[in-house]
Amino acid sequence: MAGIGKIGIIGGGGWLGSAIARSLIRAGAIEGSKLMCSYRSKMPTDDIPCDWTKNNGELVKRSEIVIVSVRPDDWPTLKINARGKLVISVMAGVTIEDIRNRTGSTRAARALPNAAAELGFSYTPYFINSDDDHDASTVRAVFESCGDVDEVSEERHLDYFTAMSGSGAAFPALLAEAMMIDAVDRGIPSSIAIRAVQQVIIGAGRLQEAHREPPTETVKAFVDYRGTTAAGIVAMRDGGFENVVRAGLEAAFQKALGMSGSRPARVPGGDHKER
């Protein structure tokens, strides 16, 4: 990764931009002297060993790779000329075509890291459209510093991943919240309930990480044992758990489609019909 090149992060003062910056440094993907981050108003009092600037034009000029990490609503006001640069967007809903048109670059990629990027445990799918054959490996190297990475073959798949993995850190938290409320309703002190559900979520993630087996296999093993966990799983399924999850993903997916201006389309494993 030593030859990854000079990187500029527009919006490096925001939570995602700074998470990517920290991960790049922590993983040894880049030296601080080759990293520049921009901010909007007040320079962050941050421990990121990089150069800071308010001038996005200067950032682009000094960078070989430009990561755009601003709110999608702020994207139309961003004016940069990144011709000849590799431009990577981590913005939800902003298309490759729009990135190329607005920046002048023929080397564009979209990537969708999630909130766990700051810890190096993100999942980042990406799509690339570039006339440089080396750019895909560069994008992969950048986001491997944040966690696991996959290239997808169709840009529309990113709209689904905006809903699933992009929002993913919130969904286990929603499950934990429901478990916590149930525990408190049964008389368990809230401080203990919070600590219990947090460790359940952390432990479950660690188990998945350690065993690397499909979730279906984990669930099957518990169901086949026919113990208390199996009773809970069966009751949740009978109560429509999978349908509720699917409805939530569908709502987030439709929101992502609306942001990108795309039409509903089939995605792997989905049943979305064009209409």
Tokens at 14, concatenated: 């925001």
> Regarding predicted confidence, which is higher, 273 or 229?
229
Spell out a b/e string for 184-200, using b for 16 or more CB atoms within 10 Å of the CB, else e: eeeeeeeeebbeebeee
Where are the alpha helices (H) located in 164-240, listed in sequence order?
170-185, 190-211, 215-225, 228-238
Q: What is the chain's mean pLDDT, rounded?
A: 90
pTM above 0.75, yes or no: yes
What pLDDT digit, counting tens, does each position of 77-118 carry?
A: 999 999 999 999 999 889 999 999 999 999 999 999 988 898
The total of other beta-carbon atoms located within 10 Å of residue 176's CB is 19
Q: What is the dihedral of CA 178, 182, 183, 188, to 10 degrees?
A: 130
Tokens at 125, concatenated: 């799918």
Percent of the chain with pLDDT over 70: 93
- Contact assessment for residue 131 and residue 84, using Cβ atoms and an 8 Å cutoff: no
Residues forming a β-bridge with 127 = 110
